[in-house]
Amino acid sequence: MPEYRAPIRDIQFALFDVLDSETHYQRIQAEEASRDLVEAIINEGAKFSEEVLAPLYQSGDEGCSFDNGKVTTPAGFKEAYQQYVEGGWPALSGDPAYGGQGLPESLSLALNEMINTANWAWGMYPGLSHGAKLTLSAYGTEQQKQTYLSKLTSGEWTGTMCLTEPHCGTDLGLLKTKAEPQANGSYRINGTKIFISAGEHDMAENIVHIVLARLPDAPGGTKGISLFIVPRNEAESLNHNNVNCGSIEHKMGIHGNATAVLNFDDAQGFLIGPENEGLRCMFTFMNFARLGTALQGMVAAELSYQGSLAYAKDRLAMRALSGPVFPEKPADPIIVHPDVRRMLLTQRAISEGGRAMIYYCSQLGDVVHAKNSSEEDIEEADAIMSVLTPIAKAFLTETGYEAANLGLQVFGGHGYIREWGMEQIVRDTRISTLYEGTTGIQALDLIGRKVLADRGTMLRFWTRIIHRFCRDNDKRKMQEFIRPLRRYYREWGGFTNKIGLKAMKNRDEVGAAAYDYLMYSGYVSLAYFWAKIADAAYDQLEAGTEDPDYYQAKIKTARFYYKKLLPRAKMHKEVMMSGAKTLLELKQEEF
């Protein structure tokens, strides 16, 4: 089993050197988030993740048990959650008016990285609560906030989101769950929801479900969906509220998290947000969940890298092709072999570059929600987030899953054996490309809704950021990164226009190009973050650091990314521009 060690220095490097969090906190008037406080939080979060959660990762794979509607989480999960609550961790970025500590959401994400690398299945329980808190903060009435938000902020209660039903996966316009208005202002909710992560468990006394349902006179499709708060137990009395767990799924991975089928049988619910605008309100939750799923891809790469790196340094097999590196040993450690280094460096590039991308997205979220942000700042941050969220979710989970498989591959046959823990990372990570919208759905969202629908306006907000970076860092030492990055981002807009013109004649051209368009966008966006990492490393070297090897390693990894991984974007460009014909010319009956 990989022995997780929180990458504290890498986290601090990303926060302070690459993304200049100190200036960011001042910009959003979060001066209380001093460097000393942030480092203290990261250090304490690291201890909790390493000492409490990591030891439960492999044992938690035994899974949850289900008995007559009740779910028991794996041994140690409930006790770990109580420690989490007692430590005040759920309140870190919460609104002080409801018991929170008022620190930036971006800082909370750094904590979530360590928690979820140590034990993703456990981390989903408080992670879903966080999305419920954001939704209530944005759309709840004051009474709803006092009733539910304070309990979610303290961690006494947990939360979920309930979207999918047996007959409709991503197509929520087909959902059938009904909400009947009552004389007292509440609603009776009836319907079945499936795939509800953390939908039932024994870790908290109540679960607050955020549920999509239809009012009796609602129009059809997605325009007729409203959003409701439906607690498992009534808020005041904690009496059962007719939210019943019919079963939990038998899954490929993340066995420690209960994925529930929930039956709402005349359960009492309360409207949150305007009638028939539930899907718009739910996007507050969904966008957070998508960023959280992107995080899963990144942490899979990190945990798998830690395991495979330790193994590669220890495992002896054959001699280096250039001659023995350790002649005193019977064979060399496998880390001397170029192909093993290819796999390790790919994992590292995805993990460290992905960290910078996700942290940057969380800073954009800070700007959008900061009270002192100007309209111009909010417009820019929201536009960039709109583009980067589907990229981060889909690209980092696809490459994170690749990294997890590479970790297993480094172990050879031992990677296939359960006791090493590498195959569990692969199984757990596989879901990340599926839930919160599959890779194909994210790709259509990116090219269709986020790029072509507004004629590339949101995309230009993002490419302007890349352009400014290239302009301001056009110095000799950075040319190996700036020149290719400039070339890639400039052609991005050009072929986007070409796809748009083809789509005017045949809408299938969008669907045919979508996946490769997203992957191209991911490789180029990650190239920007690796260029920023290299630039930050050069700055530290010029300042006279006491540990030059650390920063030289960042530059060398950036160089690997640009030479070995970024060229994949060329292949994706060629495929996306090849059009829809070869996908559609085969008749259905010919399959």
User: What is the reported pLDDT for 171?
Assistant: 83
User: What is the reported pLDDT for 213?
Assistant: 97
Q: Read off the amino acid at residue 328.
A: E
Distances from the Cα of 16 to the Cα of 66, 102, 233, 360, 482, angstroms: 45, 20, 43, 12, 22
**Is residue 121 pLDDT above 80, yes or no?**
yes
User: What is the reported pLDDT for 432?
Assistant: 97
* 23 part of a folded domain: no
Domain boundary among 443, 473, 492: 443
Asked whether the beta carbons of 109 and 359 are under 8 A apart, the reply is yes
Q: In this structure, what are the phi and psi dihedrals at residue 473, rounded to the nearest 5 degrees?
A: -125, 30
For residue 25, give the nearest of 378, 431, 372 by alpha carbon: 372
In which band, very low, low, confident or very high, does the pLDDT at 288 lie, cut at 50, 70 and 90?
A: confident
Domain boundary among 443, 471, 487: 443
The CATH number of residue 439's host domain is: 1.20.140.10
Percent of the chain scored above 70 by pLDDT? Answer: 100
C-alpha 455/C-alpha 204 separation (Å) is: 47
C-alpha 505/C-alpha 14 separation (Å) is: 45
State whether 433 and 566 are in the same domain.
Answer: no
* 291 part of a folded domain: yes
C-alpha 72/C-alpha 475 separation (Å) is: 58
**Is residue 286 pLDDT above 80, yes or no?**
no
In which band, very low, low, confident or very high, does the pLDDT at 170 lie, cut at 50, 70 and 90?
A: confident
3-state secondary structure 48-72: HHHHHHHHHCCHHHHCCEEECCEEE
Q: Is 212 helix (H, G, I), strand (E, B) or coil?
A: strand
State whether 420 and 484 are in the same domain.
Answer: no
* 51 part of a folded domain: no
Domain boundary among 443, 462, 485: 443
**How many domains is the chain partitioned into structurally?**
2
For residue 530, give the nearest of 558, 555, 567, 549 by alpha carbon: 558
* Residues carrying an active site annotation: 436
User: What is the reported pLDDT for 88?
Assistant: 97
State whether 287 and 338 are in the same domain.
Answer: yes
State whether 556 and 435 are in the same domain.
Answer: no
In which band, very low, low, confident or very high, does the pLDDT at 487 lie, cut at 50, 70 and 90?
A: very high
If you average pLDDT over residues 277-295, what whole number do you get? 85
C-alpha angle 436/437/441, rounded to 5°?
Answer: 160
**Is residue 545 pLDDT above 80, yes or no?**
yes
DSSP state of 333: B
3-state secondary structure 142-175: HHHHHHHHHHHHHCCEEEEEECCECCECCCHHHC
State whether 433 and 457 are in the same domain.
Answer: no
If you average pLDDT over residues 449-469, what whole number do you get? 96
DSSP sequence for 449-498: IIIITTTTHHHHHHHHHHHHHHHHT--GGGHHHHHHHHHHHHHHHHHHHH
User: What is the reported pLDDT for 529?
Assistant: 98
* 202 part of a folded domain: no
State whether 413 and 514 are in the same domain.
Answer: no
Its pTM surpasses 0.85 = yes
State whether 526 and 503 are in the same domain.
Answer: yes
C-alpha 265/C-alpha 263 separation (Å) is: 6
In this structure, what token pair is assigned to residue 191? 């319907």
Q: What is the pLDDT of residues 26-44, one digit of tens each?
A: 999 998 999 999 999 999 9
If you average pLDDT over residues 317-330, what whole number do you get? 96
User: What is the reported pLDDT for 495?
Assistant: 94
* 209 part of a folded domain: no
* 40 part of a folded domain: no
DSSP state of 219: P
In which band, very low, low, confident or very high, does the pLDDT at 265 lie, cut at 50, 70 and 90?
A: very high
State whether 457 and 434 are in the same domain.
Answer: no
State whether 458 and 535 are in the same domain.
Answer: yes
Paired strand residues for 159: 208
Q: State the DSSP H helix or E strand holding residue 260, giving kind and residue range, or none if neither.
A: strand 259-271
Domain of 500, in residue numbers = 446-578
Q: How many residues does the chain have?
A: 591
User: What is the reported pLDDT for 246?
Assistant: 98
Percent of the chain scored above 90 by pLDDT? Answer: 95
In this structure, what token pair is assigned to residue 380? 């820019």
State whether 422 and 451 are in the same domain.
Answer: no
Distances from the Cα of 471 to the Cα of 464, 474, 517, angstroms: 10, 6, 25
In which band, very low, low, confident or very high, does the pLDDT at 16 lie, cut at 50, 70 and 90?
A: very high
C-alpha 298/C-alpha 326 separation (Å) is: 34
State whether 433 and 285 are in the same domain.
Answer: yes
* 451 part of a folded domain: yes
What stretches of 174-257 adopt beta strand conformation (E)? 178-181, 187-197, 206-213, 226-231, 243-248
Q: What is the pLDDT of residues 549-578, one digit of tens each?
A: 999 999 999 999 999 999 999 999 999 999
User: What is the reported pLDDT for 1?
Assistant: 77
If you average pLDDT over residues 373-383, what whole number do you get? 96
**Is residue 108 pLDDT above 90, yes or no?**
yes
Exposure on the CB side of residue 202, measured as CA atoms within 13 A: 16
State whether 425 and 515 are in the same domain.
Answer: no
* 304 part of a folded domain: yes
If you average pLDDT over residues 394-417, what whole number do you get? 98
Lowest mean pLDDT among 57-66, 176-185, 216-225, 414-423: 216-225
Average pLDDT score over the chain = 96
Residue 322, Cβ neighbours under 10 Å: how many? Answer: 8
